[in-house]
Structure 1
Amino acid sequence: MTSTYNTWYHPYKVAKEYQKKVAYFSMEFGIHQALKIYSGGLGFLAGSHMRSAFELKQNMIGIGILWKYGYYDQARNEDQTLRTDFIEKTYNFLEDTGIEVEVPLHDNPGVKVRAYVLKPEIFGCVPMYLLSTDVEGNDHLSRTITNHLYDSNELTRVSQSIILGIGGAKVVEALGGADMYHLNEGHALPAFYYLRDKGVPKKQFAFTTHTPEKAGNEERDGRHLNRCGFFGRTLAEEELRKEMVNDGMINYTVSALRMANISNAVSKLHAIVSNNMWKGFEGVSEIIPITNAQNQTFWQDTDIKKAWKKKNVKAYQKRKTTLKSELFDEVLNQTEKIFDPNVLTVVWARRFAGYKRADMLLYDIERFKKLISNEKYPIQIIWAGKPYPKDYQAIETFNHLINFSKNTKNLAVLIGYEMDLSRKLKMGSDVWLNTPRITREASGTSGMTAAMNGSVNLSINDGWIPEFQKNGENCFVLPELDYKSPVWEQDEKDCANLFDILENEVLPTYYNQPKKWQQIVWNGIDDVLPEFGSHRMADQYYKELYK
């Protein structure tokens, strides 16, 4: 089969400052609601990058995996608690490129990997090559490798990295090769090993590290990985030793930092944290900050944008009321509760992970009950987000919030937290709540897209927030705590500070000083754009990482 999509191709004349051919590898991409190959922030970020690369006419392609069951579909058990469903996805809008490569895996000399393309004109992104092992001729086990994003089986996870890395690198070779190979997080690390063996020089490798979380920086037994085919060939014991750290382990991040010519963190604060985190390992590349950003075209409501450009308060408020009503239709549909567009609405929505502290408001139940029953300053609160399907603690937190809010008319927990619901929540909220433990959130991009739509950030001073915040002018920020103090102590103080700010600043300003509130909204949009729009980010990658 011949098509333009089995050669390096773009539907536009590449802009002269973006000539370098860049292949961008990521485990997940949030391009569109209908293409369910993402789980959360990493995917949203990669998707925004691919959209801006298209809009700026960059010479870039995306390399990802076509997850047969996606991440999971979020549903409810009969008592409303979380249920995880795995439903097969069929994407008729993808085209088979005819490119098929073979990857040696474990004892299998050649697992077939097929590349499907998402054409740019479908969702407005650069060409995306998505890999599948669900191919005629593969044995049953091989066909299941690309079933589930972040499979909980360790052997499958390793196989997924090998397919994305080596399979992806071979697909790029079939397309004519690239000038730069960029790994978004360490999942596709085998690409670097394979390409290095092929004689691709270090100056063509770039790496982005995303998480200061130990769990997010994969580390596995070196000999085990060698048997799996992780390095593209079997390394001799001496070669393997050179790659090992921490008593025989391969740390994906350390290896990527060593092989990359240059690496980046995803906020200025994260660059400081990352450089400190990895400085003890010799041979690691410099980690520069390139702060994450989000695509304005996709995420910002067009009527909000028009009202903001003209600073038309009436038009803004009219549109915001409509957007709140649309969000509240979803609340009514899911929880049978009627929310009021005139009431201040706070949203906490992102991936459910322990350090993000979704249930912080419930740490002080008495104070929380007072807050939600205050008639002078009424409040509505919505939670949404997806825990990993096997993160039982996060699922327990999710269910705790459901059980607590079930019979309270101004609290709601929503399921189906994917791109469409994310947009509704950002457009329909008044306040975007962000409560991670300090230094644990590398960037936290959801607050950017919320601000683009006039939702005011109420946040811990972590991730991207220190670069954006003017406390009380464009957002509200909790006092910074000593991140080295005991976790329970931080939780207690952060919780008290959160209530103080809500009770004494956020609610009184919203209800008593509408003009001041509107100014905070305008300032938030002014300060988030274009600085935290992904055009700036996509441009910065070319200038600083691919140079």
Structure 2
Amino acid sequence: MKHIQTFQVLPDIPEPLSFLETLAGNIWWCWQYDAVDLFHRIEPRLWDWSGRNPIRFLTYVPQNRLEELATDRSFLSHQQRVRESYERLPCLHMKDNIYPFETRDVIAYFSMEFGIHESIPLFAGGLGILAGDHLKTASDLEMPLVGVGLLYRQGYFRQFLDQDGWQQEDYPETDIYQLPVEKVTDMHGDDIEVSVTGPAGEIRATIWRTHVGCVPLLLLDTNLPENPPEIREITSKLYIGDQGMRISQEMVLGIGGMRALEALNLSPAVCHMNEGHSAFSSLERLACIMKTHDVDLKTAMEIVPRTTVFTTHTPVAAGNEEFPADMIRPFLIPLEEALGVSATEILSWGQLPDSSPDAPLSMFVLGARMAQYRNGVSQLHGRVARRMWTHIWPRRSEEETPISHVTNGVHIPSFLSHENSQLFDRYIGPDWQRHPSDPANVHRIDDIYDEELWRAHVMSRARLIRTCRRLMVSQYKRRNAPKEVLKNAELVLDQDILTIAFARRFATYKRANLLLQDPDRFEALLSSTTSPVQFIFAGKAHPRDHEGKELIKRLIHFARKADIRNRIIFLEDYDIHIARHLVHGADVWLNTPRRPFEACGTSGMKAAINGVLNVSILDGWWCEGYAENRGWRIGNGEEYGDPAYQDAVESRALYNILEDEVLPCFYDRKNGDIPMRWVRMMKESMKMGMRTFCSHRMVSEYNERFYQPAAKRLHELLADDASEARGLATQRDRIRTLWQDIRVEYPERQTEGAFRVGQTFRISTTVNLGELRPDDVEVELYYGIVKGVDKLSDGKSQPMEMLEAHGNGQYLYACDITCAVSGRYGFTARVTPGGDDWIRFTPGFITWA
């Protein structure tokens, strides 16, 4: 039907309850237990039925119930308490707030997905949950950050299993008018729209805004009547399969996102690209800088990367998105005029060094080329990323590849159980959420009585089991299972036995089947009467990942065995709601990735802060988190060349840990007492999570290491008509022209023979700089342990001092080196550009002796 006119009917909220509508409009409520309880107490069953969506919920609350609550003094007192907390949000009093940034200096955080709450389906998995935690934490820390994403009408798929255990996908339409979003309008009340030019014409998008505490999240939507059907589909589904559609999505996110900020009169001081999906934002930012500050492209290229952060989450090269040159080129042609270069030149920014013009465009390469600040998401992932991408910076060692790491963290108030939150309020103090990683707060976890902590956990486990039973009955009803099966579903699991959870994306490298390597041994574990154990599995396989779907099917078939079917279950449609119950109530969090394919993984962190003990491969974050007093490791961090052998070895190690260590520790209860050693490990796990893997630590680290230096740098580069940036562009051209003339002679040591630890000797070299000057470059000695004919490990660099100018561009450099540790060492010398990291690490600007 065409030309449909619409109208909306809102619930008639009595005036004493009017704050409920205000509260429902800001996602802040979802990490405030007092606010969640306020909605829950209105109509508990209706709250769950509504998907814990307060806007939808209030639509269906009976009018007589609202009238009753409007005179309920207990409820109104509760509402007033929540209101007072809400009204302390600094954004409601922004004029009184001082940021450590210049006026209107905002950080624009781009992400393809945002996982804030299960009622807002804009996410697929861990990447989105991390982005949501980033926004929540920025709000807690009162940072001037704005999120930029897409508003999906169908989002990611809902998961259902058929009678045979094969995954089915459904994409239900989201009712946008039951989400806490509002159209962004101009001063006349008209919708603000932006457009991006695609090969088939204009892609128009409207802008929606939602409030995550004090952080606005801007969401672009192409589902407009004036757009043709194929354009409307761009923001229909998250991670849409068609490559042309994916390019359009990422163009709308990056280029459209920057234009949305400009339409709102926001010129970000820093842009943070969360994965390569948003790398096109840098192209539009170049154009904005050129237009706004009247500078050429070369000057803009000195500004944009120095004020851009790029975070990669992918530890496998094949997992980074690429687009064929012929497919992407038509999308780049509309940018030629604004940037003043050809589409072929723009395309080259996303191609590997020395590629042909027809090579694919890598979104990682484009993101890395446009950002000075690049990071992986754990210490191990930083090393893996440097190894993966060292070829982008040829002639540099792997250790010096300019990719650092910021280990992920989780937003503790969003994932801490209600019981543990109450313990924290009582023992740590009611303001612990403001500084969760403060050492004094962490230390006070030891003050919690062991019995109280164990009782709180037992309550969480009981709630998890009740939830699992309800979900299993719902699953079987959906499949029209017989009455006997439904009756058995009501009895699955036991509230008093060791409960192990495995919940994550069902990608093959995560190895959900590791326990099935020895089905008889697994079955013996599950059927034990002396040390009983039960398993809960949950997770989605990608719609095109048939191997992942096979893993789910195999688990379902195994779980149907009569003697174990009450001890092992699979929960459909894993989401934040299910995850929250699992990380609250499980005893053990199991993680079995094939190292080093887990970039970080944050579900185990969420479990840890609740006292759930991790049993995991030493991969991702667990390499940094593991200690024997707070969990268990599977193996010792080995990496294997033969996957089948690896699975055989590590499955046996897993069984041994469960049988010989985990189960005895859990059931070690003298005279019927609580498991004292287990509770001590729970406390250590909680302290680790609070101290090290909290999102407040993570976002503060981004702020101190990247955001603040980048924002400060922007003002320096733009001062005095961008004089410094223009000078840097000139310097880069000069270096590029003259670099080929540099020659470095082999360095010589002035003392022969072997050396003893503590001795010092001098090394010198002659360098021909051509027309370059000593203050244009850095001359360094590079040394390390000899690992082959021409390879050094643990390489270190040391500046060499210019001692003499010999004329004709020749200079003598030298430095002293002290022998700190015995071993066989090698050394050489090199020249790199002087200046900051952006120019020092320019590919090609390095000359070795």
TM range (shorter): over 0.9
Matched residue, 2:206: 114
* SS of residue paired to 1:16: coil
* Residues 1:304 and 2:420 aligned together: yes
Alignment of structure 1 residues 387-406 onto 2, 5 Å = 387-406=541-560
- Match for residue 149 of structure 1 among 229, 238, 249: 238
- Match for residue 415 of structure 1 among 553, 572, 577: 572
Structure 2 runs not aligned, ≥5 long: 1-25, 27-89, 186-191, 290-299, 395-399, 425-444, 473-488, 670-674, 710-849
Mapped to 1, the partners of 2:695 and 2:535 lie a distance apart of 29
Amino acid at match of 1:212: P
Mapped to 2, the partners of 1:230 and 1:157 lie a distance apart of 17
C-alpha change, 1:10 and 1:135, in structure 2 (3 Å) is farther
Matched residue, 2:704: 543
* SS of residue paired to 1:530: helix
Alignment of structure 1 residues 285-364 onto 2, 5 Å = 286-307=402-423, 309=445, 310-335=447-472, 336=489, 337-364=491-518
Identify the range of structure 1 (251-260 vs 140-149) with the bigger mean alpha-carbon deviation. 251-260
- Match for residue 694 of structure 2 among 533, 541, 547: 533
* Residues 1:271 and 2:428 aligned together: no
Mapped to 2, the partners of 1:132 and 1:31 lie a distance apart of 18
* SS of residue paired to 2:235: coil
Mapped to 2, the partners of 1:125 and 1:394 lie a distance apart of 39
Mapped to 1, the partners of 2:141 and 2:101 lie a distance apart of 8
C-alpha change, 1:227 and 1:128, in structure 2 (3 Å) is same
Matched residue, 1:97: 184
How far residue 125 of structure 1 moved from its aligned partner, in angstroms, is: 5.8
Structure 1 runs not aligned, ≥5 long: none
* SS of residue paired to 1:500: helix
Alignment of structure 1 residues 52-451 onto 2, 5 Å = 52-79=137-164, 81-92=166-177, 93-98=180-185, 99-108=192-201, 110-120=202-212, 124=213, 126-175=215-264, 176-199=266-289, 201=303, 202-229=305-332, 232-233=335-336, 235-241=342-348, 243-245=350-352, 247=356, 248-282=359-393, 286-307=402-423, 309=445, 310-335=447-472, 336=489, 337-407=491-561, 408-451=565-608
Mapped to 2, the partners of 1:143 and 1:282 lie a distance apart of 40
For the 8 Å contact 2:503–2:579, the answer to whether it is kept is yes
Matched residue, 1:31: 116
Amino acid at match of 1:219: E
Mapped to 1, the partners of 2:101 and 2:568 lie a distance apart of 48
Mapped to 1, the partners of 2:377 and 2:345 lie a distance apart of 34
Matched residue, 2:43: none
Mapped to 2, the partners of 1:257 and 1:442 lie a distance apart of 17
- TM-score normalised to the size of structure 1? 0.94
Query: When the two structures are aligned, how many residues end up with a matched partner?
Result: 535
Matched residue, 2:49: none
Mapped to 2, the partners of 1:232 and 1:382 lie a distance apart of 51
Mapped to 2, the partners of 1:155 and 1:172 lie a distance apart of 25
How far residue 230 of structure 1 moved from its aligned partner, in angstroms, is: 8.2
* SS of residue paired to 1:383: strand
How far residue 305 of structure 1 moved from its aligned partner, in angstroms, is: 3.7
* Residues 1:485 and 2:588 aligned together: no
Mapped to 1, the partners of 2:548 and 2:204 lie a distance apart of 36
Identify the range of structure 1 (160-169 vs 84-93) with the bigger mean alpha-carbon deviation. 84-93
For the 8 Å contact 1:194–1:231, the answer to whether it is kept is no
Identify the range of structure 1 (453-462 vs 86-95) with the bigger mean alpha-carbon deviation. 86-95
Mapped to 2, the partners of 1:218 and 1:432 lie a distance apart of 31
C-alpha change, 1:27 and 1:241, in structure 2 (3 Å) is closer
Amino acid at match of 2:697: R
C-alpha change, 1:299 and 1:233, in structure 2 (3 Å) is farther
Mapped to 1, the partners of 2:131 and 2:470 lie a distance apart of 31
Amino acid at match of 2:224: V
Identify the range of structure 1 (399-408 vs 64-73) with the bigger mean alpha-carbon deviation. 399-408
Query: Deviations along 1:475-501, whole A, 9 cap, x unmatched?
Result: 111122531421111111111100010
Query: Deviations along 1:233-287, whole A, 9 cap, x unmatched?
Result: 4834355345422551211112211110211110111111111111111389821
C-alpha change, 1:41 and 1:101, in structure 2 (3 Å) is same
Amino acid at match of 1:213: V
Taking every aligned residue pair, what percent have the same amino acid on both sides?
33
C-alpha change, 1:374 and 1:250, in structure 2 (3 Å) is same
Matched residue, 2:656: 500
C-alpha change, 1:230 and 1:373, in structure 2 (3 Å) is farther
Query: Deviations along 1:495-547, whole A, 9 cap, x unmatched?
Result: 11000100000001000151101101010001111321111111111111222
How far residue 50 of structure 1 moved from its aligned partner, in angstroms, is: 0.5
How far residue 452 of structure 1 moved from its aligned partner, in angstroms, is: 0.8
How far residue 214 of structure 1 moved from its aligned partner, in angstroms, is: 2.8
For the 8 Å contact 1:344–1:380, the answer to whether it is kept is yes
- TM-score normalised to the size of structure 2? 0.61
